[in-house]
Structure 1
Amino acid sequence: MIRMKLAVIGTGYVGLVSGVCFSDLGNDVTCVDHAAGKIHMLQQGEVPIYEPGLKELIKKSTDAGRLRFTTDLAAAVRNADVVILAVGTPSLPNGEANLSYIMEAAREIAGAMNGFKVIATKSTVPVGTNEKLESLIRQHSSHSFAIASVPEFLREGSAIRDTMNPDRIVIGTESQQARELLTALHQPLTDRILLTDVRSAEMIKYASNAFLATKISFINEIANICEKVGADVTRVAEGMGYDKRIGSSFLKAGIGYGGSCFPKDTEALIQIAGHVDYDFKLLKSVVEVNRDQRFNVIRKLETILGDLSGTTIAIWGLAFKPETDDVRDAPAYEIMASLIERGAKIKAYDPVAADNFQSNLKHSRISYCLSAQEAALGADALCVLTEWREFQLIPLAAIQTWLKKPNLIDGRNIYSEEELAGTEFVYYSVGRPNMSKGVREQIPFLSF
């Protein structure tokens, strides 16, 4: 394997994990970020994000001299064969991707270039963005270079595994030199490498995320129907998943998707379509379904408790998914805001994401707790919003003794009918209406 010199611009989830994994493969990697505090933390061996296994890999590669962190973009670019752009492209208020950070990074790269570079964009960007980056760099540099789109498909919480064992690698470029260099860089990971044009590579990322978001909203709609007709969505999803044309992934009903990718990318693709006068009706419905799905928690609480004013609601789980401290667009935000509007008090707990969440949502009616038990003690109902393993290991009999009233809204379907047996819970899950006697009696008999 050829040992390459890489500069990774941006140390968020994508940039940091990508850089660390490439260094673990034997490459010489410099990770760059303008946030001096973050770089200092990384230089000290601390990790600014929660990602299982990442801290250990950072130590391994830094000790081996293959990985370093700096705020000096120019020095990193000058020393690199390949420059990987992994800066954020957050949503603007209208749903479009904010390209200001990646454009500024491109200007800085252009000013630092001292010879031929392959500039590979891992940031998720609208179709045509790499062509704009190429034009911008040409305006600010006389050196030759090649642009490529190499979208990432990692999942937070399993980012290292996804990076080291990818389903596929997509490389979009018009340059044969870039194609060969990037293929060699990624071949240790997989031989499933798709070589394509830049615009198709950009679209593959959006299309993939939009399709997965569609599967989630679809199974949540099926779950809502299951609750009304007395079917079990987990069995329905299992039966669907055996069909090879459908597959079993992303058919887990719940309270909707969140995080840094699906909400942002679906909205951005709707805007991309709008700019070419195409009304993406299907994806607009996917977004609408997802927004409404999280409020099923509120509707079920009101079914049990009536007026929520003066009640105390325990919330377990603030991160948008387990094994991450990422709270971007987590369903818990809107659910908790809705509870506050209705006059409820909230006791919230998350194993790792509480500090991040609290920095974005503070209110006199919210108490952030240090344990699951503390959050549940004396509450009128418990809502499980993230499927942390910690929650699944707590016996329901113990939870029942902590709560003031045995009311449980399971937004992630983590408890089974066997676990509920012998408890007094009034229990609502998602798409499984027959899990407790009090709920089962509400299901109407249907005749046709």
Structure 2
Amino acid sequence: MDRVKVARLSAGRVDIVEPGLPELVSRGIAEGTLSFVVGAAGAAVEADAVFLCVPTPMGAGGAADLRAVEEVVAELADHLPSGCAVVTKSTVPVGTTQRISALLGRTDVPVVSNPEFLREGSAVRDFLRPDRIVVGSETAEAARMVVDLYSALGAPSVVTDAASAELVKYAANCFLAMKLSYVNSVAELCERFGADIDSVTEGMGYDRRIGRSFLEPGPGWGGSCLPKDTSALLRMSESVGFGFDLLGAAAAENLAQRERVIAKIAKAVGGDLSGARIGLLGLAFKAGTNDLRDSPALGVASVLCAHGAEVAAYDPAIAEEQPGMLVVDSPYRAAKDADAVVVLTEWPEFRKLDWHVMAEAMHGDTVLDTRNLLDPTTVLSTGLSWQGIGRPRIVEHATSAVG
């Protein structure tokens, strides 16, 4: 029980970076519709529904770790009012709804699967404007009650059995992971063939069967969901004798993409990372959050440090020191004396940097833009070279290109 965190939330202080959440919490407290308590039992008193929103991180062997779920269920079991629905929002393996029912030992308490589909950095918007509501239960009345809770949002609802609802979340996240691995592979082909990934994905995105989302190449996918969910689904597949080779290949390609980025950085500094000074822009796994869990940016930074590079990193949302590297409070400090500057997180403010100042601060002249975030012309105009992912490398300086 984190009493300090509960006290801070009760005072309206939200410590995570999530646009709109501090205002939502403050309004709920002021209107008396939101309160925070220590202990699950206290929250269950007179409740019509109790939502389980606890972490299910990657455990031993890659399977989902359900200890937090089991602990809160054990705490709740004797305190739930008869008829109260236990609703699982956490991402849990198929069969967990039945497992929770068995742990509760209450025939008068229905269990419902209601997976969340919130993206960090836009969680409030995603909750208030959902693509769909998925609800699964073996008790039709409980399922309908949960669906009705979302009626004001006007989103389509999928009401099904618990196993199907549990699998929806994994199937969706793992599809997105495969899509990202696919576009990173295509980006590598673009570099080898001299094609431009921006044009390729634009042409793909107009196809309604494919769509435009998750077609941006980068240093690999990460965060709190995709790595653990792909691993968990692979383990689940193995448990029923199915080799999900397609998903396994996507996970392997993700690691290969990280290695390709590291190889590009090494090449930019002459082939030897030992003693090279690298300025990194971004550490969070995506813009709009301060989450470092399974961040590809942090993964790249850690490997650079392990190879003896001197790393100075800047992220607008992260001030805490990280092992082996210097975390600075300015992108210009990250660039100071750098042999190369590498963009690893797609923070929009990096587009607005004064690249003339960046160029003056740097020792080398290479900018590796792993998010294809920057305007190459702006970077080139300062005398620097620019390299993206899946795009032709531009080493000619703008001044010489037009001279």
- TM-score (ref. length: structure 2): 0.95
Secondary structure of the structure 1 residue equivalent to 2:368: strand
SS at 2:103 equivalent: helix
Q: Distance in 1 between matches of 2:124 and 2:268?
A: 42
Pick the aligned partner of 1:95 from 53, 58, 62.
Answer: 62
> Secondary structure of the residue that 1:56 maps to in structure 2?
helix
How far apart, in 2, do the equivalents of 1:437 and 1:294 lie? 26
Cα deviation code 1:201-240 (max 9, x no counterpart)? 0000000000000000000000001011111101101100
The answer to whether structure 1 residue 362 and structure 2 residue 335 are counterparts is no
Q: Which runs of 5+ in 2 are unaligned?
A: 398-403
Paired position in structure 1 for 2:392: 433
Aligned to 1:68, what secondary structure does the other structure show?
coil
Residue identity opposite 1:337 in structure 2: S
Structure 2: how far apart are the matches of 1:318 and 1:284? 26
1:194 alignment partner, SS class = strand
Contact 2:51 2:87 in 1 (8 A): yes
Helix, strand or coil at the partner of 2:342: strand
Aligned to 1:51: 18
Contact 1:168/1:190 (<8 A) preserved:
no
Asked whether the equivalents of residues 217 and 389 of structure 2 are also in contact (C-alpha less than 8 Å), the reply is yes
Amino acid of the structure 2 residue aligned with 1:338: V
| Fraction of identical pairs, as percent | 41
What do the CA deviations read for 1:72-112 (whole angstroms, capped 9, x no partner)?
32121022111001111110131100011101111111121
How far has the Cα of 1:434 moved from its partner?
4.0
In structure 2, give the amino acid aligned to 1:386: T
C-alpha separation in 2, matches of 1:435 and 1:369? 28
Do the aligned residues in 2 keep the contact of 1:253 with 1:412 (CA within 8 Å)?
yes
Deviates more, 1:327-336 or 1:194-203: 327-336
Give, in whole Å, the separation in 2 of the partners of 1:180 and 1:300.
53
Q: Kindly report structure 1 stretches of 4+ aligned residues shifted beyond 6 Å.
A: none
Aligned position for 1:16: none
Partner Cα distance (1:341, 1:191) in 2: 48
| 1:44-443 equivalent positions in 2, closer than 5 A | 44-138=11-105, 141=106, 144-305=108-269, 306-355=271-320, 358=321, 361-363=322-324, 366-437=325-396
The 3-state SS of whatever aligns with 1:111 is coil
Give distance in 2, aligned partners of 1:107 and 1:302.
51
Q: CA deviation at 1:303?
A: 1.5
1:362 maps to a residue whose letter is P
**Mapped partners of 1:134, 1:93: distance in 2:** 24
Structure 2: distance between partners of 1:176 and 1:274? 31
SS in 1 for 2:326: strand
CA distance in 2, matches of 1:422, 1:397: 8
Deviation at 1:423, TM superposition (A): 3.1
Distance 2:374 2:40 in 1: 49
Aligned residues between the structures = 396
Letter in 1 for 2:85: V
- State the SS of the aligned residue for 2:169: helix
Deviation at 1:319, TM superposition (A): 0.3
Q: Report the Cα distance in structure 1 between the residues aligned to 2:379 and 2:15, rounded to whole angstroms.
A: 39
For the residue of structure 2 that corresponds to 1:171, the secondary structure is strand
The one-letter code sitting in structure 1 at the alignment partner of 2:154 is T
Deviations along 1:148-172, one digit per CA (max 9) or x if unpaired, are: 1000001000000000000000010
Provide the C-alpha distance between the structure 1 equivalents of 2:368 and 2:239, rounded to a whole number of angstroms.
41
Indicate the SS of the match to 1:83: strand
